[in-house]
Structure 1
């Protein structure tokens, strides 16, 4: 009787182990597929922009998801001017929204200004944002009360335009 219980216990452990390993392998596979899809879309955007416009070099590309989703590119045109390009991800006719980078406040300057006003805050991300046709710097961070905060600063002078605070719900 004891031998039967032991076999049942061993078979159960082996079965649970196989299920857990299979689940882990599936999660890793799913992560890779999703990540490859995300980065291949960025490569497609980069290729289309270089082939169909006067841009000759793309320095960086990232995503912004607001009411509409955009790929945000820092690019140089054939005249040697650095531009910030918002490439919409939806729609048949994709109208680019372009800003001159020399008219913008730099990301580093904005971060330095933000750090001096919020020394105990923990920065999460800074990304260009396009909301209702207006360009902003979106700063996301955790404040000293552990709220998740999203600030929208003017892309030209860095002035705060809008702020959203989300309190931590679970401790």
Structure 2
């Protein structure tokens, strides 16, 4: 009688462990497929940017989520002039926006300006964006105490607005 109870307990524990392994495997596969689908979608939207703008190739891509959300692509035309192409996540080609890179700071210039003013900060991301019709650089970063979302004017890097949250 004692042996039967022991086998039942071992069986139940084994069943729970196998169920957890199966659940974990399913979650990992789903996560991997979702990331792949997202990357495929970014490439499909890049084709829209290439078709509806002067750029001939995509050198870098970004995502901006603000009052309107955009996939943003940096590329050059056939004369070597660099542009940012803002494709709305709605993929409405009539709402695509174009910005010449020379109209403002490059990503590297903005990061250099930011990092010289922000010591002990850890960069999370940087992306060009549009807020209230103005082109901006959005920099997301953390300090030991805060999580920051700061927007800087694309043209000169001056602070446009800032939001911070307490880190737990």
The question of a shared fold, defined as TM-score above 0.5 by the shorter chain, is answered with: yes
Q: TM-score, normalised by structure 1?
A: 0.90
Partners of 1:17 and 1:67 lie apart in 2 by 45
Aligned pairs (5 A) from 1:100-111: 100-111=100-111
- Residues 49, 73 of structure 2: 8 Å contact kept: no
Give the drift of 1:90.
1.1
Partners of 1:158 and 1:54 lie apart in 2 by 26
Question: Alignment partner of 1:127: what SS?
Answer: strand
Partners of 2:93 and 2:113 lie apart in 1 by 38
Aligned residue number for residue 158 of structure 1: 157
Deviations 1:27-60 (A, max 9, x none): 1121122112211111111222323443211111
Matched, 1:87 2:87: yes
- Residues 148, 165 of structure 2: 8 Å contact kept: yes
Aligned residue number for residue 28 of structure 1: 28
Q: Which has the higher contact order (CA 8 A, sep 6+)?
A: 2
- Residues 151, 161 of structure 2: 8 Å contact kept: yes
Q: How many residues align?
A: 168
- Residues 58, 73 of structure 1: 8 Å contact kept: yes
Question: Alignment partner of 1:123: what SS?
Answer: strand
Aligned residue number for residue 149 of structure 1: 148
Return structure 1 stretches of 4+ with deviation > 6 angstroms: none
Deviations 1:57-95 (A, max 9, x none): 111112111122211000112332100111111164542
Aligned residue number for residue 125 of structure 2: 125
Deviations 1:95-134 (A, max 9, x none): 2111111122122222222222121111111111111221
Partners of 2:91 and 2:111 lie apart in 1 by 33
Aligned residue number for residue 137 of structure 2: 137
Partners of 1:129 and 1:165 lie apart in 2 by 18
Question: Alignment partner of 2:119: what SS?
Answer: coil
- Structure 2: 5+ residue runs without aligned partners? none
- Residues 87, 94 of structure 1: 8 Å contact kept: no
Aligned alpha-carbon RMSD (Å): 1.6
Aligned residue number for residue 78 of structure 1: 78
Q: TM-score, normalised by structure 2?
A: 0.92
Question: Alignment partner of 1:6: what SS?
Answer: helix
